Structure 1
Amino acid sequence: MKKLLTILLTTALLPACATSPTGRSQLMLISPESAIVESRKAYLSTVQELGAKDKLVSDPKVVDRVKDVTGRLVTIAKQEYPNTANWEWSVAIIDDPETVNAWCMAGGRMAVYTGLLNKLKLTDDEFAQVMGHEISHALANHTAEQMSRAMATTLGIVAIGVASEHSGAAMVGAAAAAKIALDLPNSRTAETEADKIGMRIAVEAGYEPDAAVTLWQKMGKEGGSAPPQFLSTHPSPGNREATLKAMIPEMRKLNPTGAMAPVSPVRIEEKP
């Protein structure tokens, strides 16, 4: 049994390589396509629950603002990554004034919490940097990468369980690992990748690159002794602001006139 498990583990890990948009090698036990399928299930379940609790925002001013900014970003994403043209781009605007957070799942399914917009008093340029960063996690297949990390952990747990003849405990660990995949913080490498891709997308969409710096300044001030939820899954090394600032001159060359991109259709989730 131990030999069989070793073979299975080795077979699973050997072909599990992929390359990110920046040329980085990625562990991929879950295909990007599978990540999109699973993300869709999780997203629809979340939206249904939010709708039942009357937590989906329908204020026209907020909806129009979110559609405008994310729609421009999606236009550039589809231009730069043609495989995303058929993604079901959508946003759930969540009525939660205390939560400073936003995310984008595999397949282009996004969410933004009212606390992010209101507590930080974000400008459109800063909001574009947030969502450009989040969209970049999806573009770079970070969701599939996180799920693969969880799967690798699960395989290790199962191996230990079999070796110690505690398979029942191992399966409990495996179930926990599957849940962890949804909450794992992005690695600093993935964050740096999303910073670069996200700023590029935002600038090409017509938004100011300087906003990436002011955004993180606001995020740091809001954090205090209890960091916003956004920072819990976005590790921020001390030199992040300096790194972002150093990128600005090169990024500005991508769109020197600041021309605004057209707005692509983005579905806003509504109350049932």
Structure 2
Amino acid sequence: MSRVIRSLSVIGLSVWLAACAQVQTTQSGLVGVNRTQTMSSLVSEAELNQQAETEYRKILSQAKAQGALDTPAAQTQRVQTISRKLIAQVGTFRPDARNWAWEIHVLKSDEVNAWCMPGGKIAVYTGLLDKIQPTDAELAAVLGHEISHALREHAREQVSRQMAAGIGLSVLSAITGSQAVSDLGSSLTNVMFTLPNSRSNETEADRMGVELAARAGYDPRAAITLWQKMEKAGGGGQPEILSTHPSSQSRIADLQQASQIVLPLYQGKK
């Protein structure tokens, strides 16, 4: 039996490798994000964006039914204003993203959280605004970070990794008859709301986020105070956003370095 499993695993790995491509999703910017990424052709950018659209509509529909969509109006306007200034700068890293169907909504929830789905579907929770009380520059740091995850297609990259693991599980299911691989929707949900980002993904989003903020006219150094506030939120408890966005002293040090690189961009806007 082990020899059969081994043979099927080799076949599965060969299929996986044949379906992979090495890509560079974005330009490097001043902060130098230039890591080559491995993406699976088994899930295209268009397919993942369409699935994100479907999931986003479900979330918005549920929030609207609960009276929790885009309220309070003043918070929504603030989030949308800052987001649009950042979105105006995405061409620095990815010119095609200027034409994405960007959407920005506020969800009334106690969670300290924010995210940007593939294709530019943004949500900010009121818990982040009420409990962290970010300045505009700190809010730009959050939004820039989340937008950068979408620009860099980190969700697709993680789904690709899940699919690699799924091929291994498919080998076992072929032998045992069990169901092994989840659909694209559940994979996206898992990646967006459950699995932590890798250190490299987080570093890339941090660096790109401070550059987007600086180019949009926000002090990039606010990213440092923002993540320090996040760590202190909840009386030592961990905000939801940090469950998928791990923080550390090394992260703060990297943010300090990146913010200094792009500081002249911000100073030139003053």
Conserved in 1, the CA contact under 8 Å of 2:211 and 2:259? no
Give the aligned partner of residue 30 of structure 2: none
Give the aligned partner of residue 182 of structure 2: 175
Give the aligned partner of residue 49 of structure 1: 62
Please give the secondary structure, in 2, of the residue aligned with 1:258. Answer: coil
1:139-158 → structure 2 map (5 Å cutoff)? 139-158=151-170
Asked if residue 95 in structure 1 is aligned to residue 99 in structure 2, the reply is no
* CA deviation map 1:121-166 (0-9, x unaligned): 110000000000000000001011121122112111111233xx21
1:106 aligned to 118, 124, 140, which one? 118
1:25-64 → structure 2 map (5 Å cutoff)? 25-29=36-40, 30-64=43-77
Moved more, 152-161 or 41-50: 152-161
In structure 2, give the amino acid aligned to 1:175: S
Give the aligned partner of residue 236 of structure 1: 247
1:131 aligned to 143, 154, 161, which one? 143
Moved more, 80-89 or 40-49: 80-89
Conserved in 1, the CA contact under 8 Å of 2:8 and 2:171? no
2:223 aligned to 206, 212, 223, which one? 212
Q: Indicate the percent of aligned positions where both proteins have the same amino acid.
A: 37
Conserved in 2, the CA contact under 8 Å of 1:185 and 1:234? yes
Q: Distance in 1 between matches of 2:219 and 2:229?
A: 16
* CA deviation map 1:144-192 (0-9, x unaligned): 1121122112111111233xx2122xx1x42287353343211010000
Q: Distance in 1 between matches of 2:249 and 2:216?
A: 28
* 5+ long unaligned stretches in structure 2: 27-32
Please give the secondary structure, in 2, of the residue aligned with 1:136. Answer: helix
Give the aligned partner of residue 171 of structure 2: 159
Q: Distance in 2 between matches of 1:80 and 1:19?
A: 11
CA spacing shift, 1:52–1:109, aligned 2, 3 Å: same
Moved more, 2-11 or 63-72: 2-11
* CA deviation map 1:39-92 (0-9, x unaligned): 111111111111112111233311221121001001001454221122111112
Q: Give the alignment's Cα RMSD to 1 decimal.
A: 2.1
1:19 aligned to 17, 24, 32, which one? 24
In structure 1, give the amino acid aligned to 2:181: A
Conserved in 2, the CA contact under 8 Å of 1:149 and 1:181? no
In structure 2, give the amino acid aligned to 1:71: R
Q: Distance in 2 between matches of 1:224 and 1:6?
A: 50
* 5+ long unaligned stretches in structure 1: 260-272
Q: TM-score, normalised by structure 1?
A: 0.86
1:187 aligned to 180, 184, 198, which one? 198
- Number of residue pairs aligned between Structure 1 and Structure 2: 253
